[in-house]
A = this chain, B = another copy of it.
Amino acid sequence: MAPKSKSGRVTIKTVAEDAGVSVAAVSKVLRDAYGVSDALRGRVRASMQKLGYRPHAAARGMRGQTYTLGFLIPDLHNPFFADIMAGMNTALERTQYQMLLGVSDSAVPNEKALIDAMIDRQMDGIIVIGPRMPIDQIRDFSGRISTVLIGYHSKEIDIFDTVNNDDRRGATLVVQHLVAAGYRRVTYLSQSMHGAMKEAMVTAEREVGYRAAMQAAGLARHIQVVEALQTSRDIQAAARQLLQSRNRPEAIFCWTDFIALEVLSVARELGLSVPGDLAVVGYDNTSYCDLMQNSLTSVDQSGQVLGLQAARLLVERIGGRTAAEHFIVTPRLVERASSRHRPA
């Protein structure tokens, strides 16, 4: 066996010596680059195997790619992100890319810090779910790193790709379903943004769809939008206030499933029956909707498809595509007990 370099680390130099070739040859094999004979490739591969060679990502990052992709999510609570990630993994399965996650806790400063961290680490590209930072900051970083955004509606800027479901359509489906089931006073429970950008976000799009559908159903006078922070405390407080108000809503449409679960909890706490006294609908159709104790009607936006497409677009963009692409999934309503037809 060839001697390791003095540091003890197996580098491409060690491999080159062992295989009796140049470092350039090894580098080419490593990158599946053009211009190496099968014989040489074979010898190099064998040496790598034998020596247990592992490419040093930092060194690669100094000149070329790091084969690392960043995935930035708002939190670790929402199981919807697991669906998205499953889709991304499918797309990346047979590639060299590794996916590393950042969790921003829905805070703009953390979002910024993590994106900077990913850029500093020379990641090849990033996928960001529902960014909250202002558009000019998004423009700034997507000029510096290949970017795909999920859950962000903005086609004006052509330096990043987007992957979305049709959130307006999803909200419309919800309202139409509730109206058909006999509900009139439908309230939309959204997320309070706390000084962050609201435009382009899924919650805003859903609100647009909700308002339009209520209008179209002749229920404009019942339009009501309530916002709450994401913590259990805040959501429950908002729900409690709504459900104890004089003109209590007949149905609550929650911007995402786990908010709806909190509403179900408060309804039960107040002795309200669902859907007898109150219908509840969520969004994302996460696995919790199916549990009998929830039986939550929800909008399915195919998280796996979103993730798969996002990863595909990112790899394409890293590969050199510069024209922006915008992928849209058509949402689908999944009816469950929480919004069954209203008893007369």
Contact = CB atoms under 8 A, between A and B. Distances in A.
A276 interface: no
Interface in A263-292: 264-266, 268-269, 287-288, 290-292
Contacts of A60: 58
A57 B121 contact: yes
B58 A62 contact: yes
Interface string A39-63: 0000000000000001111111110
A335 interface: no
Contacts of A193: none
Contacts of A89: 105
Contacts of A264: 291-293
Nearest to A82: B76
Contacts of A156: none
A120 B76 contact: no
Interface string A150-171: 0000000000000000000000
Interface stretch (A17-25, A111-119, A182-190, A243-251): A111-119
Nearest to A105: B89
Given A268-B292, A288-B261, A114 B98 contact: yes
Contacts of A59: 58, 62
